[in-house]
Amino acid sequence: MIEFLRDPKIHAVLGAIVVTIGFWLVWGGLQAPVVVIAALGAASLLAWQGTTLARVWAWTCLLLGFASAAWPVATMVQVRMGMAAAAEPSDEQMGLILTAVVAGLFSSVFWVSFGGGIFRWIKRKEMEQAQAGREDKKQPQKKSQNRR
């Protein structure tokens, strides 16, 4: 059971669900085919790039950051589509746009920074493992030289 939970493909599916919910929250009432395409696209990207659990969730955080960055744009498009061609946005609509810009910017910076931090952590761990592997290879050679 525990090995099943450590499979990156399972986490790719879970990450795709999280990203799809994030995009659905940003764009509001998306049609079912668009949601399915977004979920399949996210799952395939996460399965392709997510060779480890950490990579899957790092990519998930980056995708959430991109979704958050799209939130103000989506809000502006929705406001523009809901008003007449020549009319100016109302104060309520401008407040909605301002809220989307501030919250979208904050959450986008958070998720992209969090994902970037996970990627830096992965890189540091890989460098430590590579360095430890090189040291392990050097130690037996030194022992064999001392015996001669």
Encode pLDDT of 13-45 as tens digits.
999 999 988 888 877 777 888 888 988 999 998
Q: pLDDT, tens digit, for every residue of 51-76?
A: 889 999 999 999 999 988 988 888 88
Does 100 score more than 80 pLDDT?
Answer: yes
pLDDT at residue number 86: 60
CB 73, CB 31: distance < 8 Å? no
> In whole angstroms, how far apart are CA 68 and each of 19, 117, 127, 132?
10, 18, 32, 39
CB 12, CB 50: distance < 8 Å? yes
CB 60, CB 81: distance < 8 Å? no
CB 111, CB 70: distance < 8 Å? no
User: Residue 58 class from Cβ within 10 Å (0-12 exposed, 13-18 middle, 19+ buried)?
Assistant: buried
Q: How confident is the model at residue 84 (pLDDT cuts 50, 70, 90)?
A: low
- Domain ranges (residues) in the chain: 2-147
Residue 67 half-sphere exposure, CB side, CA atoms within 13 Å? Answer: 21
The model's pTM is 0.77
H helices present in the chain, as ranges: 2-5, 8-27, 32-49, 53-82, 91-147
Q: pLDDT, tens digit, for every residue of 102-146?
A: 999 999 999 999 999 999 999 999 999 888 888 877 775 555 555
